[in-house]
Amino acid sequence: MERRGDVPPRLSLGTPFRRKERSGLREEASTRTSEDAAVRATDADALLSRLSAVNAGYLDPDPYVALLAQGFDTNVRRPLLINIGTALRSHQVDARVSNFLRTGSITGPPMASTHTAFQIVSLGAGSDTRFWRMGDVSMHPDALWSRVSHYIEIDYPEIASHKVHSIHTQPMLHTALQEIVLEEHGLASARYTLLGEELSALVPPEGSGSTRALDSLFAKLDPSLPTLLLWECVLAYLEPCTANRILTTLCARLPNVAIVSYDMCVAGDTHAPNAPPDRFGKVMLQNLAARNLGLAGARAYTTPEAYKHRFHTLLSSTAGAHGPCEMRSEAYTLQHAWRTLPRAEQERLSRLEGLDEVEELEMLLGHYCMCFAQRSACD
């Protein structure tokens, strides 16, 4: 168990984005290469954190996560605080995805739109198993997944290539995709596409309306359908200007768009949108900087309110071309998610490994947040 005041290993940080800047300085290039490797390594961290939470009973059985973890120690065990955080994050995202498919809304009552087919784009998806487990009728018999017209994952070419290999060699993974067409660093099938692309490739250069990566993405999408953009601990690693340009580019092309984001909030649960990191948040940043993770996005957006304002502003600024629309947004910490869990589920999670550091758990959960935003064009 970590000492009080230290930051336990982060909650399954997902597969973040690798920054790619222009510089002729060899020293800066070497530094970026080192940071790139540290960022890519967080995919394995996230994968093994999920596997640990599944093995310990915090999450429902997920036969697919072990298939993607081939080559790692599948008996991995994370500290109980990480297991609880991983479970909360997974439950929160899954619930919003399910609600989006059921009602067309990720927050609140159904949206005005009457669509029954939906698209999902997971940016920085890494070794996520959501496409397989939520489409498995033995795990989700409600058949909601049949409403997914297309599911697209985008990640580093290196990460995507590894996932393609796992899909190719594991029958449980590739039989769910039916006919597969291999592409450079990725693959495509009738309902699932994996693109091996830098996220920065989604930003058109000045004076250009598109890029090869954007063309590849929108060749698989129907802009008229409601589209959910998943960002699971990706934005913390992006330079804010790059992230906002990606969001602006995508949202400008999608009239009906929803965003689900899970990320760090290093100032904790304060209503001041631009609050500086608090003491615990500073330690988080220091610990991750020691792993060569700069976290430019986490330093720029430090509270749930900051994320909420960010997404609302981006959706508003790109709404003009799409006519009248309805917009919603919501944000809160994982601490709030923990405190509002049904008591029976909170007690179950607490008993699994004997939770006794409740104060430490709540401090940690108070520095990660969920944010949801949506814009729906009025029919």
Three-state secondary structure string covering the chain? CCCECECCCCCCCCCCCCCCCCCCCHHHHHHHHHHHHHHHHHHHHHHHHHHHHHHCCCCCCCHHHHHHCCCCCCCCCCCHHHHHHHHHHHHHHHHHHHHHHHHCCCCCCCCCCCCCCEEEEEECCCCCCHHHHHCCCCCCCCCHHHHEEEEEEEECHHHHHHHHHHHHHCHHHHHHHCCCEEECCEEECCCEEEEECCHHHHCCCCCCCCCHHHHHHHCCCCCCCCEEEEEECCHHHCCHHHHHHHHHHHHHHCCCEEEEEEEECCCCCCCCCCCCCCHHHHHHHHHHHCCCCCCHHHHHCCCHHHHHHHHHHHHHHCCHHHCCEEEEEEEEEHHHHHHCCCHHHHHHHHHHCCCCCHHHHHHHHCCEEEEEEEEEECC
- Name the pTM for this structure: 0.90
Q: Among the listed ranges 21-30, 38-47, 330-339, 347-356, which one has the minimum average pLDDT value? A: 21-30
- Taking 70 as the threshold, does the pLDDT of residue 12 lie above it? no
pLDDT of residue 207: 67
In the predicted model, what is the mean pLDDT of residues 85-98? Answer: 96
In the predicted model, what is the mean pLDDT of residues 95-115? Answer: 84
pLDDT of residue 138: 87
- Taking 50 as the threshold, does the pLDDT of residue 22 lie above it? no
More confident residue, 19 or 123: 123
26-377 CATH fold: Rossmann fold (3.40.50)
Percent of the chain with pLDDT over 90: 72
- Taking 80 as the threshold, does the pLDDT of residue 10 lie above it? no
pLDDT band at 59 (very low <50, low <70, confident <90, very high): very high
Is 360 labeled as ligand-binding? Answer: no
Is 232 labeled as ligand-binding? Answer: yes
Percent of the chain with pLDDT over 70: 88
pLDDT of residue 225: 95
pLDDT band at 112 (very low <50, low <70, confident <90, very high): low
Is 21 labeled as ligand-binding? Answer: no
